[in-house]
Structure 1
Amino acid sequence: MRSGQPPPPLAFITGASSGIGQALALRYRQAGWRVALIARRKEAMQAWTLAQGWSPDCFRIYAADVSAPDEVIAAAQACLAEQGLPDVVIANAGISIGMDTAEHSDLDVMSRTLATNNIGMAATFHPFVAPMRQRGSGRLVGIASVAAVRGLPGHGAYCASKAGVVSYCESLRGELRGSGVKVLTIAPGFIDTPLTRGNRYPMPFLMSAPAFANQAFRAIQAGRSYCVIPWQMGVVAKLMRALPNAMFDRLMHGRGRKAREGEV
């Protein structure tokens, strides 16, 4: 970057140490953006960025557990101080663990899932809302899931959390209407990541993480308020939503369930 020129745009990405988050970080760097990478495993992130051969002035790594609001807020404040106000903030960090409501220990699973997938998203956006509104521009991106459309047996915590993401982002979008700040919801279908590789059921239209990141990047650049990737899963989601409850329940009966914590 030559002196006197504005810096490249900046993307702030949580859950950047693997899967979708890592693929998004790569896609934004390929487009010439600077990136702020938030992950619990800072050492692993440092090794990965070193392997990419990135110039130190194009990225920063901030260690934070997104389920702890004060940690992700501190990471955001460090980003503001060191790199400036991001152009895009992607709340991607999330967990997915099967649950059985009859098991007392799984109430903690639900609590942790909501803390990461919902409270963590709000905490990620929180430090940037006021300065983006003051600047009159910015994009806040929530990563939801097609699992938000219907409740899947054994997947209550994750489905509930992702339905919450959709509604939360919709609420925030309304609050920021007219401010210049856009709120976007990206709903992945089945993406080949460590989060999905242990699934014990069919995953139609399975997509690679780089292919997902490429489509998500284009959707965010276009300012789409809601986007399902891949599009085929959007069609499946609409069909599932339209099914009468009795038919949906029969269809889901006997379906493989997400592994509970400690299960293989």
Structure 2
Amino acid sequence: MKRVFITGASSGIGAALALFYAQQGASIGLVGRRHDALLALQASLPGEHHIYVLDVRDRNALHAAAADFLSHGPVDVVIASAGISAGTLTEEPDDYRVFEAIVATNLNATVATFEPFIAPMKSQGKGRLVGIASVAAVRGLPGAGAYSASKAAVRAYCESLRVELSLSGIKVVTIAPGFIKTPMTAQNPYKMPFLMPVDRFAAQAGHAIEKGVSYRVIPWQMGWVAKLLRIVPDGLYDYFAVRRKRKPRLGE
């Protein structure tokens, strides 16, 4: 039986990944901020699972949850799925705190999630550490400086970690979602090409994780979009990006 530790399991991608792995017979450590949502998810899943109610920005609480889950047996897969998004404008002083919260949740908590599992996985000579990046990491999007920067950093961090652990038997997998139908994307005021149901995303992500791929964009169509965005000259990108609706700030 596989054992999987997932942050951000209260809803969205994290909850969908929990369902995917539970259907494969895995035992899961479900981490999230909302006790009621985690209880409801736990009750809906086949098998026996553990819930940990915490904010992933609390490194000590996160490590305590990891230690408890590890005490029940070896862990095969760790998915740092917790993430938040909001529009930020550097000219707005109040947005600095929002920027800090996004980076702390999306990037710093990914590091804190992986930390406790590396030594045990090295001892067993195998394991998967999974970071959730985003297609938004490819180019900076208007009004999404914090989100784009945090997800670009997740990709770079996971790449560094992948190389560091390449001889350990641990695979570091980066999954970059495009537009996935979740409560987070429901707030976007702009068109979302190739919008994918979250259960389909979870199934494709699960298979990529099992293969131990280094980097995968889901859906594949957004992978081609990402490749094109990387080679578009800055002037051309700026011309179209400035005309795109920006991500709304909190309260807008």
TM range (shorter): over 0.9
Distance 1:258 1:215 in 2: 27
Question: What is residue 185 of structure 2 aligned with on the other side?
Answer: 196
Residue 56 of structure 2 corresponds to residue 66 of structure 1: yes
Question: What is residue 206 of structure 2 aligned with on the other side?
Answer: 217
Question: What is residue 147 of structure 2 aligned with on the other side?
Answer: 158
**Cα displacement (A) at 1:53:** 5.6
Q: In the alignment, is the contact (CA less than 8 A) between 2:173 and 2:209 conserved in 1?
A: yes
Question: What is residue 29 of structure 2 aligned with on the other side?
Answer: 36
Distance 1:144 1:44 in 2: 24
**Cα displacement (A) at 1:135:** 1.2
1:1-264 equivalent positions in 2, closer than 5 A: 8-50=1-43, 52=44, 54-55=46-47, 58-81=48-71, 83-263=72-252
Name the SS for the 1:108 alignment partner.
helix
Q: In the alignment, is the contact (CA less than 8 A) between 1:152 and 1:159 conserved in 2?
A: yes
Question: What is residue 3 of structure 1 aligned with on the other side?
Answer: none
Name the SS for the 2:68 alignment partner.
helix
Distance 1:25 1:128 in 2: 18
Distance 1:99 1:234 in 2: 26
Q: RMSD of the TM alignment (CA)?
A: 0.9
In structure 1, list runs of 5 or more residues that go unmatched.
1-7
Give the residue type in structure 2 aligned to 1:125.
F
Q: In the alignment, is the contact (CA less than 8 A) between 2:23 and 2:46 conserved in 1?
A: no
Q: In the alignment, is the contact (CA less than 8 A) between 1:38 and 1:63 conserved in 2?
A: yes
In structure 2, list runs of 5 or more residues that go unmatched.
none
Distance 1:248 1:127 in 2: 41
Give the residue type in structure 1 aligned to 2:60.
D
**Cα displacement (A) at 1:85:** 2.4
Give the residue type in structure 2 aligned to 1:54.
P
Distance 2:77 2:67 in 1: 15
**Cα displacement (A) at 1:54:** 3.3
Distance 1:257 1:19 in 2: 22
Aligned residues: 252
Structure-2 change in CA distance of 1:223 and 1:240 (3 Å): same
Name the SS for the 1:197 alignment partner.
helix
**Cα displacement (A) at 1:45:** 1.0
**Cα displacement (A) at 1:192:** 0.3
Distance 2:57 2:147 in 1: 14
CA deviation string 1:78-105 (max 9, x = no partner):
1112x22210000000000100100001
Displaced runs of 4+ in structure 1, greater than 4 A?
A: none
Name the SS for the 1:152 alignment partner.
coil
Distance 2:59 2:137 in 1: 23
Distance 2:132 2:212 in 1: 14
